[in-house]
Amino acid sequence: MNKHINFEDIIYILNVRMRMIKDLLHLDIDLDLFYSQTTGDLEFINSIMDALIEKFMNNQKLLDRETDAECILDAEWQFSQLLNEICNNTSQHSFSNSPETQTLIAMLKKESINRKKQIEESCTPVENSMAEPVVTYTELNGLLGSA
Domain assignment present for 19? yes
Domain assignment present for 16? yes
Domain assignment present for 17? yes
**What pLDDT, on a 0 to 100 scale, did the predictor assign at position 4?**
67
Domain assignment present for 109? yes
Contacts of 75 (CB under 8 A, 6+ apart): 11, 14, 15, 49, 52
Domain assignment present for 106? yes
> Which residue has better confidence, 101 or 147?
101
Number of domains the chain contains:
1
Question: pLDDT (tens digit, 9 = 90+) per residue, 100-127?
Answer: 888 999 999 999 999 999 988 887 554 4
Question: pLDDT (tens digit, 9 = 90+) per residue, 95-104?
Answer: 767 788 889 9
**Structural domain boundaries, residue 128:** 7-144
Domain assignment present for 121? yes
CATH number at residue 99: 1.20.1050
User: What 3-state class would DSSP assign to 2?
Assistant: coil
